[in-house]
Chains A and B, each alone.
Chain A
Amino acid sequence: MAVGAAYYIASELGLALAFPSAPVSILWAPNAILLAALLLTPREHWWMYLVAVLPFHLAAQLVDFPVARVVIQYFANVGLAVLGALAVTASTALPLRFDRVRSAFTLVLFGGLLAPALTSILMAAAFKLTGISNDVWLTVVARTVTNTFAVVTLVPLIVHCAERLRSGQRPISVKRAAEAGTLALATLAICVLLFFIPFDSPERTPLLLYAPLPMVAWATMRFGVAGACAACLTAGAVSMFAMVNGYGPVNGADSVENALSLVSFHVVMSIIFLTSAALFDEWRHAGRALSVSKARFRSIFENNIIPTAIWREDLRISEANEAFLKLTGFSGEDLEHGKLRFDDLATMNNRAPRVANIDSDDLLEQFDNAELELALRDGRRVPVILGHSRFPSDEGGVIYALDLSAFRRAEARRQRVESLHAAVLASLHDQVAVVDSRGAVIEINDSWRHAVEAAPESRFDRTLAGENYLQCCARAAEQGDRAAAEHLATLRAVLYGSEDRRQIECRETRHGDSAWFEVSFERLRRAEGGAVITRTEVTSRKRAEAESRNQRLQLNHLSRAAVLGQLSGAFAHELKQPLTSILGNAEAGLRILNKEKPDYAEIGEILEDIVQDDERATQVITRLRALLGKGDAQRAPVELNDVVRESLELTHSEFVTRNVVATLHLDPQLPAALADRVQMQQVVLNLLMNACEAMVNTPLTKRQVVVTTHYLAAGEAAEITVRDNGTGLAPGDNERIFQPFVTTKTHGLGLGLAICRSVAETHHGVLWAENAPEAGAIFHVRIPIAGGPP
Chain B
Amino acid sequence: MNDNESTPTVYLVDDDASVRSALTRALNAEGFHVMSWASADAFLADYDPEKPGCLVADVAMPGTDGLQLQSLLSASDRSLPIVFITGNANIRMSVQAMRAGAVTFLPKPVRLSELAAAVREALERDQTSRQKRATRSAIQARLAALTARERQVFDLVVAGKMNKQIAAQLGAAEKTVKVHRGRVMFKMRVRSVAELVTLATQAREASRLL
9 closest A-B pairs by beta carbon, nearest first, are A584-B22, A591-B29, A576-B87, A587-B112, A573-B87, A588-B25, A588-B26, A581-B22, A580-B109
Report yes or no: B18 in contact with A591, Cβ–Cβ below 8 A.
no
B64 to chain A minimum Cβ distance, whole angstroms, is 9
A664 to chain B minimum Cβ distance, whole angstroms, is 15
Assess A588 versus B28: contact at CB under 8 Å? Given A581-B21, A582-B109, A609-B21: yes
Report yes or no: B108 in contact with A592, Cβ–Cβ below 8 A.
no
Report yes or no: B19 in contact with A580, Cβ–Cβ below 8 A.
yes
In the assembled complex, the Cα of A657 lies from the Cα of B68 at a distance in Å of: 12
Report yes or no: A570 in contact with B88, Cβ–Cβ below 8 A.
yes
B16 at the interface (CB under 8 A from A): yes
In the assembled complex, the Cα of A408 lies from the Cα of B28 at a distance in Å of: 116
In the assembled complex, the Cα of A616 lies from the Cα of B30 at a distance in Å of: 26
A-chain residues with CB within 8 Å of residue B15 when the two chains form the complex? 656
In the assembled complex, the Cα of A575 lies from the Cα of B28 at a distance in Å of: 24
B93 (CB) vs chain A CBs: closest residue: A657
A613 (CB) vs chain B CBs: closest residue: B18
Interface size class of B (residues with CB under 8 A): 20 to 34
Interface size for A (C-beta < 8 A) is 32
From B85, B108, B111, B113, residue with most partner A Cβ within 10 Å: B108
> Contact flags (1/0) for A563-579 with B, using CB distance below 8 Å?
00000011011111111
A591 (CB) vs chain B CBs: closest residue: B29
A661 at the interface (CB under 8 A from B): yes
In the assembled complex, the Cα of A579 lies from the Cα of B26 at a distance in Å of: 14
25 contacts across the A-B interface (CB closer than 8 A): A570-B88, A572-B88, A573-B87, A574-B87, A577-B19, A579-B109, A580-B16, A580-B19, A580-B23, A580-B87, A580-B109, A580-B110, A581-B18, A581-B22, A583-B111, A585-B26, A587-B29, A587-B111, A587-B113, A588-B25, A591-B26, A609-B21, A656-B65, A657-B60, A657-B88
CB-CB contacts below 8 Å: B154-196 with A: none
Report yes or no: B109 in contact with A576, Cβ–Cβ below 8 A.
yes
B62 at the interface (CB under 8 A from A): yes
In the assembled complex, the Cα of A579 lies from the Cα of B21 at a distance in Å of: 13
B61 at the interface (CB under 8 A from A): yes
A579 to chain B minimum Cβ distance, whole angstroms, is 4
B140 to chain A minimum Cβ distance, whole angstroms, is 38
A-chain residues with CB within 8 Å of residue B62 when the two chains form the complex? 655-656, 659, 661
B22 (CB) vs chain A CBs: closest residue: A584
Assess A573 versus B18: contact at CB under 8 Å? Given A579-B109, A584-B112: no
A662 (CB) vs chain B CBs: closest residue: B62
In the complex, which of the residues B22, B60, B107 contacts A656, with contact meaning CB atoms closer than 8 Å?
B60
CB-CB contacts below 8 Å: B1-43 with A: 15-16, 18-19, 21-23, 25-26, 28-30
CB-CB contacts below 8 Å: A591-605 with B: 591-592, 602
A215 at the interface (CB under 8 A from B): no
In the assembled complex, the Cα of A24 lies from the Cα of B113 at a distance in Å of: 181
> Contact flags (1/0) for B48-64 with A, using CB distance below 8 Å?
00000000000011100
In the complex, which of the residues B16, B65, B88, B110 contacts A583, with contact meaning CB atoms closer than 8 Å?
B110
B-chain residues with CB within 8 Å of residue A602 when the two chains form the complex? 25
A-chain residues with CB within 8 Å of residue B28 when the two chains form the complex? 588
A696 to chain B minimum Cβ distance, whole angstroms, is 16
Report yes or no: B18 in contact with A587, Cβ–Cβ below 8 A.
no
In the assembled complex, the Cα of A82 lies from the Cα of B112 at a distance in Å of: 160
A303 at the interface (CB under 8 A from B): no
Assess A584 versus B26: contact at CB under 8 Å? Given A577-B19, A579-B109, A659-B65: yes
B-chain residues with CB within 8 Å of residue A580 when the two chains form the complex? 16, 19, 22-23, 85, 87, 108-110
